[in-house]
Chain A
Amino acid sequence: MDSLKPVVSRRKFVEIFGAVSAMGATSMFVSGCGSTSSGSATDTITFGQGADPRGLDPAYVDDGESAKIMCNIYETLLCYDKSSCDIKPCLAKEYKISDDGLTYTLTLEQGVKFHDGTDFNAAAVKKSIERQLEPNRNDDMPYASFVFGTASKGDGVKTVEATDDHTVTITLAAASTPFLKNLAMVLASPIVSPTALDKNNGNLNEAPCGTGPYSFVSWSKGQNVVLKANDSYWNSDKKAKTKNVIFKFISENASRVTALNNGECDIIDGIDDTVVDTIKNAGNSLFDEDGMNINYMAYNTTSSIFSDVNARRAFSKAVDVATLVKSLYGDYASAATSVMPLWMAPYDKDVAQVAYDADAAKKELAALNITQVKCITYSNPRPYNTKGGQVLAEAIQGMLDKVGVKVNIDTYDWTTYKTKVQTEAYDICFYGWTGDNGDPDNFMNLLADSNVSMNVARYDNSAYKALIAEGLATPEGDARNDIYLQCEKMVADQAVWLPISHSKDLAGYNPKVKDFVIHPTGVVWLWGATKSA
């Protein structure tokens, strides 16, 4: 259970005690000119993000913008530690797993109430989960099958029973080590008010109601979501310290930076290295920590060129990943040496990808008679690639040009791209992954998946698949780590992917704000945050 705990506590918290009075004066001046801005009120923290949430019902959404808001409204049975993906009790104060790994018995906290006054109990848990189990599950629940499994695949949750008012028994169809981590996810797993579900036709997208430290006030589409402190919150450790929290939606990166420097926002995310100086020069601070993601290029292992492992290795040799990452992402992404970021899987330190060697690449590619490569990529910035796939593809195009290979790039908007990776006959493509739950299976399984939309390399190796199946059922510990290390080494040796970078989670913030937490899963916990005058 604690095998994943990083050697050193990885994540630092924002604890900066600025020169309160001086900063206050500056901000009075700035926001005074810009008129009454909520940035100047100490009982309100404004968080600027790039887009509206898709919705605020954990069963119906799949995006980070929703998760960031929902994690302050809802709670899960178990939750992540502040700085890692280690599991801690939350709405369930204890849990017990049977020896066969199939039965989970959870003892619930008592005296907890939902924001609408409904009691939190085993029946509420049962209802929250059962609506996402087959046959209740509907096609619009993007994470239900990931978290709770699918009967046809023989995995996931078989039954949820309320043993008594405060005990829940969950029975799995097959042992699954990541299940515990799934229960802490902000997507699908949070426990929602059963009364609210009845009242809102089973969909809380616009009327979220949970047990969390903040309760929902309003959502003005395209503008903001307003939350207020939950006065009757049960857990004194996580009681909200600031009265109002506002999530403001500003799509343009540059505008979000302006909003921060203008005092219209206290914290902004979704920024890249080019605005760091602008943020710092305005007296604001920067938060950066390694994120749980991988930005990669995939070889189509079924294409005529790259079904040959030597061709893949030769191509990889032509790409100077370190220089590429440095110039594209500056200090705000680290060059990837393995699929999983090292903080998440420290055992990956022994993994090495094909080394950069342009001369060798040129010879080998010429010998293999490779002169043209068809590449598809996406245009939009993604969390794991703030510059967008097009810029990345163009950079690699430039490097391959030097070794005599012409890369033909077709760029698509993300929507179209997701279809194209399934239908187009490409040789290489660009993709990425943001971890859901901190479990290695969540990353390494991508290369074993039968869905080409996830396994864009179309890697189909029975030895690899056997390792993945074994890892799924092995309890956490050295044996399990060893399995995933073997997976990593296979991916590197066979050059299935060219791992490029792990991007950092970046946020700009006003130094008057302290103690907010950006978790490795990408969510933002604001209950501990305070703002000085």
Chain B
Amino acid sequence: MASADIAQKRPAVPSSPEPSTPPESGPKAAEKPESLFLEFWYSLKGNKAAMVSLVVIGILVLIAILTAIVPGILPYDPYAQDLSASFQPPSAAHWFGTDQQGRDIFSRILIGTQVSLSVGLLAVAISLAVGVTLGAIAGYKGGAIDTVIMRIMDMMLAIPSILLAIAFMAALGKGVDKAVIAIGLVSIPEYARIVRSQILSVKENDYVAAARVIGDSDAKIIFRHVLPNVLPSIIVRATLGISGAILDAAALGFLGLGVQPPQAEWGDMLGRGRNYIFSAPYTMIFPGLAITITVLAFNLLGDGIRDAVDPKSRRR
């Protein structure tokens, strides 16, 4: 067992990718991709929770896109202040009440979907791109390169990710773009590790050896033969990673290190609302609910995908 792999910092919701057991979705290169996908889809379709979460995520994405294209569909302008209407409790006019500056909380939560989803997706995209590349290189090349890359990953893992992200934000300044970078950077090591350990187990396989004999280039072997085989576990990790990134973004917002005003971000709204938990609890309850529901949806989906790609867990 590769000892370093134990140190997965956030084995977020894994029911099986514990480091001790071999990679759950071992090489199945023999199957055709289409049939694999169909099998996966049927399996996922049978999972009620995953389908519900898929619907929820679909709605969230729809909200994010619609509010971006036609902001007019929002009940109120999420940035329009009306200081005479501050802290109105939930009512027919303002479903979730109004905040300090008299802005409609419901509208702000709807438009905040854009921030949370884009932070979640983009941060994961960064960690994926960098993490997968580094992990693939480390695992495939081995030797000194492997050692250097993985030791750097160890260094990043040894710093609590939230502290690292806070320090990044303090250095970079506020803003969604910077939050994306900070959150994306701190979870690179997790992806690098998963990919590396999977690659280690895949690269000794016959078809990889065969490709090598034919004289395929390293890059071609990695992208053609090795990565497709480790894809399932990366997808599972990435789905769960989105929920982690949304939570991290909310934490940064809560600590006042999130977005630039007047942008609406759920964690930031919650952080501002916490000063009014007695006089205006709705200012923090609804943003908190929005975060929880979104994160829950991605977690459920991640679980569903894992069950679908992992025949072993499907048996259960």
Contact = CB atoms under 8 A, between A and B. Distances in A.
Interface of A: 252-254, 257-258, 272, 274-275, 277-278, 323-324, 327-328, 379-380, 387, 390-391, 393-395, 397-398, 409-413, 415-416
Contacts of B256: 379-380, 413
Interface of B: 80-81, 83-84, 86-87, 100-102, 170, 173-174, 256-257, 260-262, 274-280
B80 to A, nearest CB: 7
B261 A393 contact: yes
B278 A394 contact: no
Nearest to B259: A411
A274 B100 CA distance: 10
Nearest to B283: A274
Interface centre among A327, A397, A415 (most CB of B within 10 A): A327
A257 B276 CA distance: 10
A274 B262 contact: no
13 contacts: A252-B274, A254-B278, A274-B87, A274-B276, A275-B279, A323-B83, A327-B86, A328-B100, A391-B101, A394-B261, A398-B80, A411-B174, A411-B261
Contacts of A411: 174, 260-261
Contact of A397 (B173, B262, B276, B277): B262
B173 A416 contact: yes
B277 A254 contact: yes
Given A410-B260, A415-B170, 19 more contacts: A253-B275, A254-B274, A254-B276, A274-B276, A274-B279, A323-B83, A327-B86, A327-B102, A328-B83, A394-B81, A394-B261, A395-B83, A397-B262, A398-B80, A398-B81, A398-B83, A409-B262, A413-B257, A416-B170
A371 to B, nearest CB: 18
Nearest to B86: A327
What 8 A-B pairs are tightest by C-beta distance, nearest first?
A327-B83, A398-B81, A278-B278, A274-B279, A254-B277, A253-B275, A390-B261, A274-B276
B111 to A, nearest CB: 15
Contacts of B83: 323-324, 327-328, 395, 398
B87 A395 contact: no
Contacts of B100: 328, 387, 391
A272 B272 CA distance: 13
A393 B279 CA distance: 23
A254 B174 contact: no
B105 to A, nearest CB: 15
Contact of A254 (B81, B262, B275): B275
Contacts of A395: 81, 83, 101
A325 to B, nearest CB: 10
A395 B279 CA distance: 21
Contact of A413 (B170, B260, B276, B279): B170
A274 B229 CA distance: 57
Contacts of A391: 100-101
A274 B261 contact: no
A395 to B, nearest CB: 6
A426 to B, nearest CB: 15
B77 to A, nearest CB: 11
Nearest to B262: A394
A413 B255 CA distance: 11
Contacts of B279: 274-275, 277-278
A444 B129 CA distance: 56
Contact of A409 (B81, B170, B260, B277): B260
Nearest to A279: B278
A380 B255 CA distance: 11
Contacts of B277: 254
Contacts of A398: 80-81, 83, 101
Contacts of A379: 174, 256
Contacts of A412: 173-174
Nearest to A326: B83
A257 B278 contact: yes
A420 to B, nearest CB: 9
Nearest to B281: A254
Interface centre among B170, B275, B276 (most CB of A within 10 A): B275
B275 A274 contact: yes
A394 B87 CA distance: 16
A404 B280 CA distance: 32
B261 A409 contact: yes
Nearest to A390: B261
Nearest to A258: B278
A53 B276 CA distance: 25
Contacts of B174: 379, 411-413
Nearest to A261: B278
Contacts of A413: 170, 174, 256-257
